[in-house]
Structure 1
Amino acid sequence: MSKTIFITGASKGFGKIWAEAFLKRGDKVIATARNIKNLEDLVQQYKDNILPVQLDVNNREAVFTAVNKARDHFGRIDVLINNAGFGLFGAVEETTEQQARDQFETNFFGLLWATQAAIPIMREQKSGHIIQVSSVLGVATVPVLGIYNASKFAVEGLTESMVPEVAPFGIKLSLVEPNAFSTDWGGGSAIHTEPIEVYEQVKADLYANFTPDFFGNPESTIKAILQLVDSEQPPLRLFLGKVAYPLVQQNYEARWAEWDAWKQVSDEAHG
């Protein structure tokens, strides 16, 4: 049975790859982008099965209008995929106020607005699946992406807390947590801070890890996303890529060791 899927940030990268995969198998797709010219090829090929919508997710009113337009056009929204976002590269000290605010406006607040707009529709339907494109960096951090990490940690906390709120309405939630992939996320779509020389070494150490096999193939995520969308009992969290699991495993083992080492202090603080 075909689904109606609303996906933000669909002009390139994961968004466009997944939108096309849904369309190929007969789903209906509402594809939003700041520049819908990048969707013209999909419109020409899939015609009435795709509704392109020009949208800046930072504009809450525009997000609500777009979601309601999508529902009116296709009659329902089965799946919302909050994919819009970008990377902000730079040490925390280097980051300007505007850069930090812009990062959260898109990565967190844009996602929040679309989620809020979709819930009443899905509640009325008594079904729906909201998929938040987070990151492995919403679970474990690396340096030089501090504000990006923080925005994805916020997405994780928001989404997990929503599960018991919307479950009674038949709404499911999933966090997709990719490791690095060969998309435009770290390229033209990324923002870089004005560098301060003292952070050059930590940047060099991080970038030294970026060997060719460190980056996943975006096309290889299609099978996983289709399986997630079709699952009757989708997971709350799903890693994409083989780098994510060992990174998080190492991170959490270190966390538990530290918590255990300080457990007596923690207990005594209870009173």
Structure 2
Amino acid sequence: MSKIILITGASRGFGRLWANALLKRGDKVAATARNIEDLNDLIETFGDAVLPIQLDVNDREACFAAVNKVVANFGRIDVLINNAGFGLFGAIEETTEKQARAQIETNFFGLLWVTQAVIPIMRAQKSGHIIQVSSFLGLVTLPVLGIYNASKYAVNGLSETLASEVKDFGIKVSLIEPNGFSTDWSGASAMQTEPTEIYAPIKQAFFESATPDSWGNPESTTSAVLQLIDSANPPLHFLLGKVAYPGVKQVYSQRLAEFEAWKEVSAGAHGH
């Protein structure tokens, strides 16, 4: 049976790739984009199997309207892929208020609004799968991406909590946590702070640490994501790419060792 899938940020990158793969196999896709004309080629290829929706996820009311439009057109929503978002590169000290708010508004609040809109639909259906496109930087951090890291940590905290709240309604929640991939995320879609000389060595070291092999091939993610969507028991945390797992494992091992080293002091702070 084909699935009805709502994908935000479907104009490029992961959203476009996954929408195309889902449509090719016979699913129906409600695809959102800030500029609806970016979806024209999908419509030309797949016709009525695509429902194009112009949406700025920062507009909460528009998010609810978009979800209602999907239900009116297709009758249900089986899967939500919350993919809309962008990267903000620069040191924390360099980041303006406007840049920080824009990053959190889209990456966190935009995802929250679409999630809130779809929960009542899935709850009434007694089924559904909410897939949040986060990052392995919601589990560990890298320099020069501080506000982006923070936005993804927020997404992870929100989604872990959500999973515990909606599981009894038949709703599953998964976090897709990719390492770096060669998508538009770090290119034209990204935002940059105004650079200052003091952070130049840190930035240089960060960018030089990445090798061509560090960046995954976006097209190679399709099979893994289709398996996630089709799984009867999908994971809450789903790492994408070969860099993510060893990176997360190393950091978590270090954290556990630090907790262990300070556990007596920590316990003593309890007071009884």
Relative to the length of structure 2, the TM-score reads 0.99
Partner Cα separation in structure 1 for residue 211 and residue 234 of structure 2 = 32
Matches within 5 A, 1:1-271: 1-271=1-271
Partner Cα separation in structure 2 for residue 108 and residue 77 of structure 1 = 21
Partner Cα separation in structure 2 for residue 212 and residue 37 of structure 1 = 33
CA offset digits 1:85-128 (Å, max 9, x no partner): 00000000000001000000000000000000000000000000
Partner Cα separation in structure 2 for residue 249 and residue 194 of structure 1 = 33
Moved over 3 A (4+): none
Partner Cα separation in structure 2 for residue 163 and residue 129 of structure 1 = 10
Higher deviation after alignment, 203-212 or 122-131: 203-212
Which runs of 5 or more residues in structure 2 are unaligned? none
Name the Cα RMSD after superposition. Answer: 0.5
Partner Cα separation in structure 2 for residue 36 and residue 240 of structure 1 = 28
- Number of matched residues? 271
Higher deviation after alignment, 182-191 or 33-42: 33-42
Partner Cα separation in structure 2 for residue 28 and residue 138 of structure 1 = 30
CA offset digits 1:136-177 (Å, max 9, x no partner): 000000000000000000000000011121011100000000
Partner Cα separation in structure 2 for residue 182 and residue 207 of structure 1 = 14
Partner Cα separation in structure 1 for residue 173 and residue 82 of structure 2 = 11
Relative to the length of structure 1, the TM-score reads 0.99
Partner Cα separation in structure 2 for residue 158 and residue 13 of structure 1 = 24
Partner Cα separation in structure 2 for residue 255 and residue 123 of structure 1 = 37
Partner Cα separation in structure 2 for residue 251 and residue 210 of structure 1 = 18
Partner Cα separation in structure 1 for residue 31 and residue 210 of structure 2 = 31
**Displacement of 1:75 after TM fit?**
0.2
Q: Percent identity?
A: 68
Partner Cα separation in structure 1 for residue 212 and residue 43 of structure 2 = 33
| Partner secondary structure for residue 208 of structure 1 | helix
Letter in 1 for 2:167: A
